[in-house]
Amino acid sequence: MGVGIEVRGLNAWYGKNQSLNSIDMTVAANHVTAVIGPSGCGKSTYVRCLNRMHETIPEARAEGSVKVGEMDVYGSGSDPVEVRRRIGMVFQKPNPFPSMSIYDNVAAGLKLNGFRNRKQMNELVERSLKLAALWDEVKDSLHKKSGASLSGGQQQRLCIARALAVEPEVLLMDEPASALDPISTSKIEELIFQLKQHYTVVIVTHNMQQAARVAEFTAFFLMGSLIEYDKTEKIFTTPADKRTEDYITGRFG
Amino acid sequence: MPNLSAQSAPQQVGLVRRFTNAGATTFAVAAAILVLVPLLAIFAYLVIKGIGSVNWAFLTQTPKPPGEVGGGMANAIIGTGIILAVASVIGVPLGIGSGIYLAEYGRNRFGDLVRFTADVLNGVPSIVIGIAAYSLVVVPQKHFSAFSGGVALGIMMIPTVARATEEMLLMVPNVIREAAYGLGIPKWRTTLSISLRTASAGVITGCMLAFARVAGETAPLLFTAFGNQFWNLKLNQPTAALSLQVFTYAISPYDDWHKQAWAGALILIVLIVGAVAAVRITTSRGMLKGGS
Amino acid sequence: MSDSVDPMNSTEPLGKLQKPATAIPSMAQVSKERKTAASTVLQKIRTSHPRASRVPDAVFAVIILLSAISVFAIVVLVAWELIDKSRLSLHQFGIGFFYGHDWDPVAGSFGAMPFIYGTLVSSFLALLMAVPLSIGVAVYVTEMCPQRLRAIISFLVELLAAIPSVIYGLWGIFVLAPLLREYVEPFLARTLGWTGLFTGPMYGLGMLAAGIIMAIMVVPVIASITREVMTAVPQNQREAVLALGATRWEMIRMGVLRNARIGIVGGIILGLGRALGETMAVTMVIGNRPEIAKSLFAPGYTMASVIANEFTEATGDLYLSALVEIGLALFIVTLIVNALARLLVWSITGGTARVRA
């Protein structure tokens, strides 16, 4: 089951440029929340702050409070590695490990975190691939094929399976379908819909229709600030803020 | 007609230009041939002159005293193996380690310094490395040794391995690292199990090329490994090496030793070409495994 | 780190933020659920690694840093040993060491001039032959040769670099020297003898042989760098020149070579560095006589060769020290030459930026 996320006063910088301004946001457990906004509005930075991926970029830093379930992400005793283990992430471009087979790709997180039980690992790999709706397509070539030999859409589902295998509580998706064709995109969207039964999903997208299709809640970011956050339906029909309205009606961005 | 002259002028220039073009082309082709001739000549001579003297005795016996016919280079073959093993034990880990530093941590002043020093070290003449190994290892140890030879060659391997590792790691896309971090894998584990593994084919190539490069080195061994007419398997004793033996025999006045020098050279080149070919095979396999 | 909200930077009035509180289960509710449904697998992973990544990460970073430091330390150590061990000679002879003509170990007088001369002349000779050949090969491979041949020729040229020096020497003694003695040198003496460069007894072994052998050895160095910088020239430069109605050679000259010239000079200097330090092959074919002769047929001696030949036989501290000083000079010269070459090549290929991008 997923857990909720509570963000308070989150600021982020790239060098001297501030890219997020005091974000406060509560993300519902076991729901899909979409983050939309024009490019450069800080929506990617925002999700990368949730699992402390932001700070892996040189000169980038973040401050504030993020609580994922009981875990204090930026607390003094918190370890970024532990945080990322508990919060899965799917990236914009599919990034399977090219030197590993499909199986090893999915098992990578488990193995590298010191998980050894072979039988349970097989089960987890199968379960994750099934959850990612990839099992039927790859079950005959789990060990034979490299992760890089799959098609783009399959690769992205493989990356989702890889993220799910370590049983995260939250799944962050940073424009997961932006590099994919429409058919693959619809598969991923369908998948996201399934996943919310088990996980809290935060998805960044520049595609408003996609947000409308998959998310119950939508947050609109502009120039590093959270402008409006509400039920998706409300955002797209009767937004409270003028800027939100301008954006969703296509007046800028 | 004024038009005609305007049209014929470029045509005349065209002739000169075409001639120059043909001349340049001919020169380039001739250069390619001229460069390849010595290569083929060297290989041809190695095989023709060397093959006749490669026999069982050559591969299993130690050298006979000067002037006596027969004997072999078995001790030198083993000696080269020992020295290269020591060199690899020193050069490969240090090279890969500093390559990892350059690629994953070295985006700073000190990284630039190390990168530059590695290039400088690569250009230091091997004989100078030999002097350094002599005064750093041989002098304190008070005698020539296989170990000191290995140190000299190991030092020479480091920059090649380091730069190859760096280059290959930088070719690993950052999204791969992010994927690993995103799974909660610590940096050291990501570097070794993900980045280095992804880059492994290229890193192995770098190591093998470094190996091939030092395998035939002679100058730094002259006053480190020194050479030995007899069997020696001890690391702290003077040791024969193929390249040294080829040198000694080639400048000797004995006909039989000249033949053996060719045979030794043939074995040496087979070893080196074998290493290079192994690189080609492993890398192409690696690509097959990695790509679609 | 936590809870530091900067009101100065919050341009948005937070009041506008609409929290969908009704639909969202409270945090307490969430964590209760979490406890009951906690996955056994995840628990196992967590308990086996209780937040233990920091220490190994730090240890790893230190190990890696140490190996990087070792590269730097080795170069410093090499330089220090050379300076330390040549101190005696530096004190005794001072700067005069480098222009003294006399190399007499028995009398204890050491002047390095004949070796410096031999090194410079043989290297210059090698470059004279190698540069046009290398550029020719690089041009052929990058711009003219059929796709199929490209990889093969590049591989063969690189194979030239893989042949050990001692094998070049062996080949030089038994194949090249007789060839020079019987055919080439008599021909040169007949046609170009008047220049004074090709006179005197023809041994085969000598400065000319050393130059030729080194030229063969230096070609792959220059050719591979030239090829690299030529490939780095963007395709649109070629197209721009071709679109002006240029022939292929004009395209190569204006579109490629001109853009790549700094890098090519870098490659040539790198080849020079290789030639200056080359030891075995030269030692085997140059004749090893510390003389300064105008004729290229005459034997000579190089800095590297004298170290190779006399180091283990050097009796007496001063003798050894003088040899190490030659090594030190070689080290400094190659260091400068290589630094220069790297800077030039980097300026073209962008150093590591090329692969970073």
Q: Please name the residue of chain C whose CA is at the shortest distance from the CA of residue A110.
A: C45
Chain centroid offset of residue B101 CA: 23
Q: pLDDT averaged over chain B? A: 87
CA distance C266 to B19: 30
C183 secondary structure, DSSP code:
I
For chains A and C, count residue pairs whose Cβ atoms are closer than 8 Å: 135
**C-beta separation of C304 from B125 below 8 A:** yes
Cβ within 8 Å, pair C308-B272: no
Nearest to A167 among C3, C33, C42 (CB): C42
Q: What angle do CA B8, B9, B13 make, to 5 degrees?
A: 115
Q: What is the pLDDT of residues B32-48, one digit of tens each?
A: 999 999 999 999 999 99
Cβ within 8 Å, pair A109-B184: yes
* Amino acid symbol at C188: L
CA distance C34 to A70: 9
Shortest distance between the Cα of A223 and any Cα of chain B, in A, equals: 25
pLDDT of the residue at B290: 35
The values of phi and psi at residue A46, to 5°, are -60, -50
- Other CB atoms within 10 Å distance of the CB of residue B48: 11
Q: pLDDT averaged over chain C? A: 82
Q: Please name the residue of chain C whose CA is at the shortest distance from the CA of residue A112.
A: C45
pLDDT of the residue at B283: 63
pLDDT of B255 over the 50 cut = yes
pLDDT of B22 over the 80 cut = yes
Q: Spell out the alpha helix ranges (H) of chain B.
A: 2-51, 56-60, 74-100, 109-123, 126-133, 139-141, 146-171, 174-182, 187-189, 196-198, 200-215, 242-250, 255-290
**C-beta separation of B73 from B58 below 8 A:** yes
Q: What is the pLDDT of residues C137-178, one digit of tens each?
A: 999 999 888 888 888 888 888 888 889 999 999 999 999 999
Q: Please name the residue of chain C whose CA is at the shortest distance from the CA of residue B250.
A: C170
Higher pLDDT, B14 or B3: B14
pLDDT of B26 over the 50 cut = yes
pLDDT of C302 over the 90 cut = yes
Q: Check if C73 contacts B (Cβ < 8 Å).
A: no
Which candidate in A52, A169, A235, A238 is best for mutational testing of the C interface (most C CBs within 10 A)?
A169
- For B55, the enclosing helix (H) or strand (E) is none
pLDDT of the residue at B47: 94
Sign of the C-alpha dihedral, residues C327, C329, C331, C337? negative
Q: What is the pLDDT of residues C10-31, one digit of tens each?
A: 333 333 333 333 333 333 343 3
pLDDT of the residue at B11: 46
Give the gyration radius of chain A's Cα atoms.
18
**C-beta separation of C341 from C270 below 8 A:** yes
CA distance A216 to A191: 15
Distance spanning both ends of chain B, measured CA to CA: 65
**C-beta separation of A154 from A134 below 8 A:** yes
CA distance C271 to C216: 11
Cβ within 8 Å, pair A98-B184: no
Nearest to A4 among C7, C25, C45 (CB): C25
Q: What angle do CA A70, A75, A78 make, to 5 degrees?
A: 85
CA distance C51 to A72: 13
Q: Name the β-bridge partners of A146.
A: A101
pLDDT of B126 over the 80 cut = yes
pLDDT of C80 over the 90 cut = yes
CA distance A99 to A141: 15
pLDDT of the residue at C241: 77
Chains that touch B (3 or more CB pairs under 8 A): A, C
pLDDT of the residue at C145: 86
Q: What is the pLDDT of residues C266-279, one digit of tens each?
A: 899 999 999 999 99
Within the 230-259 window of chain C, which residues sit less than 8 Å (CB to CB) from chain B? 247-250, 252-253
Cβ within 8 Å, pair B182-A93: no
The predicted model gives C308-336 an average pLDDT of: 92
pLDDT of C82 over the 60 cut = yes
**C-beta separation of C111 from C103 below 8 A:** yes
pLDDT of the residue at B51: 92
The predicted model gives C214-223 an average pLDDT of: 95
Q: Please name the residue of chain B whose CA is at the shortest distance from the CA of residue A111.
A: B185
Q: Check if C7 contacts A (Cβ < 8 Å).
A: yes
pLDDT of the residue at C339: 86
Q: Name the β-bridge partners of B134.
A: none
CA distance C137 to B36: 10
* pLDDT tier for residue C357 given thresholds of 50, 70 and 90: very low
Q: Looking at the predicted complex, does its ipTM rise above 0.95? A: no
pLDDT of the residue at C34: 37
Q: What is the pLDDT of residues C99-115, one digit of tens each?
A: 888 898 888 889 999 99
Helix axes A118-131, A152-165, angle to 10 degrees: 130
The predicted model gives B140-158 an average pLDDT of: 95
Which candidate in C6, C19, C41 is best for mutational testing of the A interface (most A CBs within 10 A)?
C41
Q: Check if C266 contacts B (Cβ < 8 Å).
A: no
Which is nearest to B158 in space by CA: B122, B128, B195, B127?
Answer: B122
**C-beta separation of B213 from B163 below 8 A:** no
pLDDT of C233 over the 60 cut = yes
Parallel/antiparallel/unpaired status of strands A87-90 and A170-174? parallel
pLDDT of the residue at C305: 95
* pLDDT tier for residue C9 given thresholds of 50, 70 and 90: very low
Cβ within 8 Å, pair B185-A89: no
pLDDT of the residue at C116: 94
**C-beta separation of C2 from A72 below 8 A:** yes
From the number of C-beta atoms within 10 Å of its C-beta (0-12, 13-18, 19+), residue B113 rates as middle
pLDDT of the residue at A126: 93
pLDDT of the residue at A79: 83
pLDDT of the residue at A117: 86
Shortest distance between the Cα of A174 and any Cα of chain C, in A, equals: 22
Cβ within 8 Å, pair C9-A28: no
User: Looking at beta carbons, which residues of chain C come within 8 Å of A82?
Assistant: 46, 49, 51, 53
* Ranges in chain A, pLDDT < 70: 1, 251-253
pLDDT of the residue at B4: 43
Which is nearest to A66 in space by CA: A164, A198, A170, A143?
Answer: A170
Shortest distance between the Cα of A37 and any Cα of chain B, in A, equals: 23
User: Looking at beta carbons, which residues of chain C come within 8 Å of B39?
Assistant: 156-157, 159-160, 163
Which candidate in C54, C67, C71 is best for mutational testing of the B interface (most B CBs within 10 A)?
C71
pLDDT of C346 over the 80 cut = no
Shortest distance between the Cα of C15 and any Cα of chain B, in A, equals: 33
pLDDT of the residue at A233: 93
CA distance B205 to C90: 43
* Amino acid symbol at C294: K
Shortest distance between the Cα of B173 and any Cα of chain A, in A, equals: 9
pLDDT of the residue at A252: 60
pLDDT of the residue at C349: 64
Work out the percent of chain C whose per-residue pLDDT is above 90.
51
pTM, entire model: 0.82
Q: Check if A76 contacts C (Cβ < 8 Å).
A: yes
Chains that touch A (3 or more CB pairs under 8 A): B, C
Which is nearest to B202 in space by CA: B115, B287, B289, B103?
Answer: B287
Residue pointed to by tokens 């730090």:
C58
Residues 6 or more apart in contact with residue B18 via CB below 8 angstroms = C247
- For C109, the enclosing helix (H) or strand (E) is strand C109-110
From residue B291, how far is each of A71, A161, C17 by CA, in Å? 39, 20, 48
Task: Please give the structure tokens belonging to residue C132.
Answer: 């046009």
pLDDT of the residue at A228: 94
Q: What is the pLDDT of residues B74-114, one digit of tens each?
A: 999 999 999 999 999 999 999 999 999 999 998 889 999 99
CA distance C326 to C114: 12
**C-beta separation of A108 from A128 below 8 A:** no
Task: Please give the structure tokens belonging to residue A153.
Answer: 């859409």
**C-beta separation of B159 from C70 below 8 A:** no
Task: Please give the structure tokens belonging to residue B26.
Answer: 């001919």
pLDDT of the residue at B279: 73
User: Looking at beta carbons, which residues of chain B come within 8 Å of A162?
Assistant: 179, 183
DSSP string covering chain A: ----EEEEEEEEEETTEEEEEEEEEEEPTTSEEEEE-STTSSHHHHHHHHTT-GGGSTTEEEEEEEEETTEETTSTT--HHHHHHHEEEE-SS----TTSBHHHHHHHHHHHTT---HHHHHHHHHHHHHHTT-HHHHGGGTTTSBGGGS-HHHHHHHHHHHHHHT--SEEEEESTTTTS-HHHHHHHHHHHHHHTTTSEEEEE-S-HHHHHHH-SEEEEEETTEEEEEEEHHHHHHS-SSHHHHHHHTTS--
**C-beta separation of A112 from C48 below 8 A:** no
Q: Please name the residue of chain B whose CA is at the shortest distance from the CA of residue A168.
A: B183
